[in-house]
Structure 1
């Protein structure tokens, strides 16, 4: 009698599946996430990074953008011209002032609205919708409304005359300071809703026992907001500051649609200046150089804000 016929099958343990089959199933390749992220990789590498590289190449040329014309290689001449361009520095200054004013006002309004919505306010749901609705409205649809309101014969001047304040009427969009104020007002009107939603969510995460302890220690509502709630919303504030800074550097829609960068470059931003330089003056090389500078500024600001937040978190 054969020995192999009497011995149990070593590859088939009692009450289980064959070990070989188990091993084969274990070696079977499992699905990974590459097919899901491949489209995003193609878009990022093939479109965004290629566009950035091509913009860097065009920034070294003197070219009007037409394929039939032969571009002239200038090296860093466009960047040298940019650093000596007063309009570029004016646009950069406008961006800095715009960021400080809009971020400060949006933060104050958003935090105040969020605190009010967490209190016993009648029809809170309606107020939330009213505050947030401007965020989802396109500037292209609302810019004509702002132009009409602040026109020399618009609703604002009409209202001022009706209440006897004729001395306050003026051509709001024709003055440098007032035109910038209108652009800031439109931006604040649109993005305060997003600031409000983020602060409202941050306040919802605060433990109620902490607020009750503050009140037991004798802190009033304002003291509790300033000393307890505001510090606990620091992460939200930093995130909004970072987004606001990058958004200010890329500002284009409101100043272009309301004032087109005027009057006399009073509301010129880097985005509008790039647009005018490229399409109106047909200087694609110089516009690309400003675009590269804008990208570097946005990256530097983002990295700075991130490192600062990380350093403060460790401290």
Structure 2
């Protein structure tokens, strides 16, 4: 009797022709990997939908509220279009918050980078108790702003320890109520921020410097390069990617800054330490102008995204230039 087999039902006879399915022709290993990826996706789908949906829904709803004249409670909502955005452009306090943000970002980032790189280079040297120094440098990072704020308010008070120390060493003419006057309040907040977050910069720079080839440094030393020359010409170019990443994080963090200025100065005196985050809160909660606060928050979102995109493009350009340079050397 003739053995009749139906094409495609026997694994020993692979299907051919136009009617054969692509996954039947695919190797078993590839089908297995594809099945595994498809099987895992439904498990993350609920979390993906909830997180993404919640975020984008809130952004969309906030955008709608920014077009209203509304206090957030009343059932009466009056549509006013782009008036809240036009109001922001003519609001001197809003422009003041942007100025404070720029000063805060530039000073804190530059000082943190200088201190972070200097400490990372020093602790890469063979010094005793380096592990203890790392812990001491990183301790401020784990302290919550709610804990630090009362301490710094006492330190910078008119009769606080800082002024007492200045008077004790004969510099009493410098003593002043640091947080109670517009000319010095922002500087006090910057000092607090630097003390709080320099540990993060130090850890990242320390890890980046660990990836620098020691042979390059030793060759530079044999050529007569000093420590400063090695840091400037070898270490800093090698950790440029880390510097850009920290600049991005610092810029976005400064744009949404709220806790430190609110807890220490509450935006005062005379709006001298007002930032976008504190100004949005002031408009939404104490003043009840939710529409204007929503417009300010959308502006904050656009600024943060624009800053992130700008720094990312800059980082990509530097990476491509570095890759071309390496190819040219080869």
What is the TM-score when the length of structure 2 is the normalising length?
0.87
1:109-258 alignment, distance < 5 Å? 109-258=115-264
Give the match for residue 30 of structure 1.
Answer: 35
- Shift >6 Å, 4+ stretches: none
Does the C-alpha gap of structure 1 residues 223 and 152 become closer, same or farther in structure 2, counting only changes over 3 Å? Answer: same
Does the C-alpha gap of structure 1 residues 187 and 4 become closer, same or farther in structure 2, counting only changes over 3 Å? Answer: same
Tell me the distance in 2 between the aligned counterparts of 1:300 and 1:107: 22
Does the C-alpha gap of structure 1 residues 283 and 201 become closer, same or farther in structure 2, counting only changes over 3 Å? Answer: same
1:295-314 alignment, distance < 5 Å? 295-314=301-320
What is the TM-score when the length of structure 1 is the normalising length?
0.91
Are positions 1:57 and 2:88 aligned together? no
Q: What's the C-alpha RMSD, in Å, of the aligned pairs?
A: 2.2
Tell me the distance in 2 between the aligned counterparts of 1:302 and 1:193: 22
Secondary structure in 1 aligned to 2:35? coil
Q: Which runs of 5+ in 2 are unaligned?
A: 16-23, 322-330
Does the C-alpha gap of structure 1 residues 39 and 128 become closer, same or farther in structure 2, counting only changes over 3 Å? Answer: farther
Does the C-alpha gap of structure 1 residues 3 and 35 become closer, same or farther in structure 2, counting only changes over 3 Å? Answer: closer
1:64-143 alignment, distance < 5 Å? 64-66=71-73, 68-143=74-149
Tell me the distance in 2 between the aligned counterparts of 1:153 and 1:147: 11
Secondary structure in 2 aligned to 1:299? helix
Tell me the distance in 2 between the aligned counterparts of 1:11 and 1:168: 92
Secondary structure in 2 aligned to 1:260? coil
Are positions 1:260 and 2:263 aligned together? no
Tell me the distance in 1 between the aligned counterparts of 2:98 and 2:11: 76
Does the C-alpha gap of structure 1 residues 4 and 36 become closer, same or farther in structure 2, counting only changes over 3 Å? Answer: closer
Tell me the distance in 2 between the aligned counterparts of 1:3 and 1:216: 85
Give the CA deviation at 1:167.
Answer: 1.3
Tell me the distance in 2 between the aligned counterparts of 1:271 and 1:36: 36
Give the CA deviation at 1:12.
Answer: 8.2
Q: Which range moves more in the overlay, 162-171 or 187-196?
A: 162-171
Write the deviation string for residues 130-189 of structure 1: whole angstroms up to 9, x where unpaired: 111111111111111000111112111122223332212111101112110111011111
Are positions 1:282 and 2:288 aligned together? yes
Give the match for residue 293 of structure 1.
Answer: 299
Residue correspondences, number: 303
Secondary structure in 2 aligned to 1:30? helix
Tell me the distance in 2 between the aligned counterparts of 1:98 and 1:144: 21
